[in-house]
């Protein structure tokens, strides 16, 4: 893990200073292997999903032409607690390294972009196919 940078448009952390230390502590314990991220996510409240008419159909696209050094992965999916965790686990489980990730949420729709490599290179066709299947599963 390298660096986290995120925005807090609702100023949740700014308005609740004790939450900053609590968040740092949780991240530190997870990184050190002292706390299980999957267990933390299981204890989260279940999300409220929109009506079927406004549900988001998952979309996973991989592109080797968008970058000279990495494979671009674009994911659109129904947002839920743990989605980013599941996507990152799928990428890591395939032996890939996340070089850059850009995440955004609009209402209940997650828009995530990853630049990934494997052994310092763009992904080859076989790995692309396997990873795409794993990411589809993670979106479900």
User: Which one, of 97, 90, 100, lies nearest residue 132 by Cα?
Assistant: 90
Q: What does the pLDDT read at residue 53?
A: 62
Share of the chain above pLDDT 70, in %: 87
Work out the number of other CB atoms within 10 angstroms of the CB of residue 125: 9
Query: Which of 27-31, 47-51, 79-83 shows the lowest mean pLDDT across its residues?
Result: 47-51
Rg, Å, the chain Cα set: 16
Q: Which helix (H) or strand (E) element contains residue 81?
A: none
What is the CA angle 76-77-81, rounded to 5? 130
Give the pLDDT confidence of 32-76 residue by residue, as tens digits: 999 888 888 777 766 666 566 667 899 999 999 999 999 999 999
- What's domain 52-139's architecture? 2-Layer Sandwich (3.30)
pTM here is: 0.75
12 compared with 131, residue with greater pLDDT? 131
Whether pLDDT at 1 is above 60: no
Place of tokens 């979106």: 139
């Amino acid at each position: 893990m390298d660096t986290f940078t995120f925005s807090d448009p609702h100023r949740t952390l700014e308005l609740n200073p004790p939450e900053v230390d609590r968040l740092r502590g949780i991240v530190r314990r997870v990184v050190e292997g002292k706390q299980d991220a999957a267990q933390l996510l299981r204890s989260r409240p279940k999300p409220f999903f929109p009506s079927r008419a406004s549900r988001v159909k998952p979309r996973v696209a991989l592109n080797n032409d968008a970058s000279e050094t990495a494979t671009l992965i674009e994911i659109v999916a129904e947002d839920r607690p743990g989605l980013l965790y599941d996507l990152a686990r799928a990428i890591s489980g395939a032996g890939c390294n996340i070089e850059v990730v850009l995440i955004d949420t609009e209402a209940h729709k997650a828009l995530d972009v990853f630049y990934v490599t494997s052994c310092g290179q763009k992904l080859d066709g076989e790995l692309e196919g396997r990873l795409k299947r794993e990411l589809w599963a993670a979106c479900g």
